[in-house]
Amino acid sequence: MSSSKPESVLQRQAQAWWVRLHSGQATRADADAFRQWATHSTAHAQAWREVMRTWSALDPLLAEEAVRQASRARAFPWFRALSGTWSGLSAALHSPGRRAFLGGAVAASVVAGVVAVDPPLGLWPSVGELTADYRTATGEQRQLALAQGVSVRMNTQTLINRIGAGANPHGIALVTGEAEVAANGASDFLVESGGGRLLARAARFNIRHTGAQVCVTCLDGRVTVSANGEQRSLEAGRQVTYDQQGLREVVRADEASVSTWRTGVLSFDRMPLSEVIDEINRYRPGKVFLRNDTLGRTLVRMRLNLRSIDNAPVMIRELYGARLRSLPGGIVVLS
């Protein structure tokens, strides 16, 4: 029997079955339903085999991810309130078998909801991605026309929520990612991100929030940036960063570097390879892991076309002598 369902749909179903069957909450009815699903067609069976191959090959990386998930989970008050969950996770983390280690850790984090908040290796959408007003997938860019006189260009892996109801929101919240905002309206347009606020009426600026810091670059006009009770005014060609500790001093911006993503090219000039790979992972499906600290500190010069971003790991291997191992699901290990 053949299946008319697209391959991507079957893969998502297979991943959902994997999580369910390894959650520690699967029932006999679940097992029977899974058996019917897996034997429905050769395409279903193939999707399941691919998922098993992927997760089996990722055991070592996911074991490390499970430790990170467990560490993060302790920051959630509601996680600590779940009786017995942490003790079960601790036992799994110290079990002798890696598969038991992985299964127990992932199962406990599924119970706690952490996997839904921060999926391991980004292999499926998080709750934030599914509930955001606007989002871009890995490698995707998107143009938005928001309030009158305001347009937003979203870069890859970006989540944005509207501030204000109706057809003309008075602002946006950049949850994560990067965007270029062009405002030319009758009133100030608000952007919130990482605990800070930006106000602009006639300006074009780039805002990036991909880690602990938020970076704001004014490309045209004037932008006011506020964070932790401090305020900076940016003119064209100026840049400022902030985090939970407050605002940094305003500096001159490398505007060409800031806007390079709009041209479909990534350019790196004497940047540590570890940071280059972090950037590549924002644009490339799957994930590239670098398991060599010395190589990660190497300062590199590279220019990558986003249309051929999949070739980046091979380029790194050829230019810098890294060993490369490809795994299912777009996972690449460099060492």
**Of the segments 125-134, 216-225, 284-293, 304-313, which one has the largest average pLDDT value?**
216-225
Strands (E) across 59-157 are located at: 134-135, 142-145, 150-154
Q: What is the pLDDT of residue 130?
A: 65
Least confident of 128-132, 133-137, 210-214: 128-132
Instruction: Say if CB 315 and CB 302 are below 8 A apart.
Output: yes
Query: H-helix or E-strand containing 21?
Result: helix 7-21
Q: What is the pLDDT of residue 90?
A: 44
Q: What is the pLDDT of residue 118?
A: 56
Check whether 113 has a pLDDT greater than 60. no
pLDDT band at 152; cut points 50, 70, 90: very high
Instruction: Say if CB 180 and CB 206 are below 8 A apart.
Output: yes
Threshold 0.85, pTM exceeds: no
Q: How far apart are CA 87 and CA 70, in angstroms?
A: 11
CATH of domain 264-334: 3.55.50.30
Higher-pLDDT residue of 40 and 67 is 40
104 CB contacts (<8 Å, ≥6 apart)? 88, 89, 91, 92, 93, 95
Q: How far apart are CA 312 and CA 201, in angstroms?
A: 39
User: What per-residue string of b and e applies to 30-67 under the rule 16 or more CB within 10 Å gives b?
Assistant: eeeebeebbeebebbbebbebbeebbebbeebbbebbe
Higher-pLDDT residue of 86 and 232 is 232
pLDDT band at 108; cut points 50, 70, 90: very low
Check whether 123 has a pLDDT greater than 60. no
Tokens representing residue 92 in the block:
């799994």
Q: What is the pLDDT of residue 30?
A: 81
pLDDT band at 186; cut points 50, 70, 90: confident
Q: What is the pLDDT of residue 128?
A: 65
pLDDT band at 178; cut points 50, 70, 90: very high
3-state secondary structure of 27: coil
Higher-pLDDT residue of 286 and 166 is 286
Check whether 96 has a pLDDT greater than 90. no
Share of the chain above pLDDT 90, in %: 41
- What mean pLDDT is predicted for residues 124-140? 77
DSSP 311: G
Check whether 183 has a pLDDT greater than 90. yes
Least confident of 25-34, 152-161, 310-319: 25-34
Instruction: Say if CB 102 and CB 59 are below 8 A apart.
Output: yes
Share of the chain above pLDDT 70, in %: 73
Q: How far apart are CA 145 and CA 152, in angstroms?
A: 6
> Between vectors from CA 278 to CA 248 and to CA 159, what angle results, nearest 5°?
70
Q: How far is CA 217 from CA 20, 112, 220, in A?
A: 44, 38, 9
List the domain boundaries for the chain.
Answer: 7-122, 131-258, 264-334
pLDDT band at 197; cut points 50, 70, 90: very high
Q: Which has the closest alpha carbon to 275: 208, 210, 185? A: 210
Q: How far apart are CA 71 and CA 4, in angstroms?
A: 42
Check whether 46 has a pLDDT greater than 80. yes
Q: Which has the closest alpha carbon to 85: 137, 132, 28, 25? A: 25
Q: How far apart are CA 202 and CA 330, in angstroms?
A: 42
Q: How far apart are CA 30 and CA 34, in angstroms?
A: 6
Domain 131-258 in CATH 1.25.40.10? The answer is no
Q: Which has the closest alpha carbon to 285: 309, 304, 313? A: 309
3-state secondary structure of 192: strand
Check whether 110 has a pLDDT greater than 60. no
Output 17-23 pairs: Cβ under 8 A, ≥24 positions apart.
17/48, 17/51, 18/51, 18/52, 18/55, 19/106, 19/110, 19/115, 22/103, 22/106, 22/107, 22/110, 23/107, 23/110, 23/111
- What mean pLDDT is predicted for residues 222-241? 96
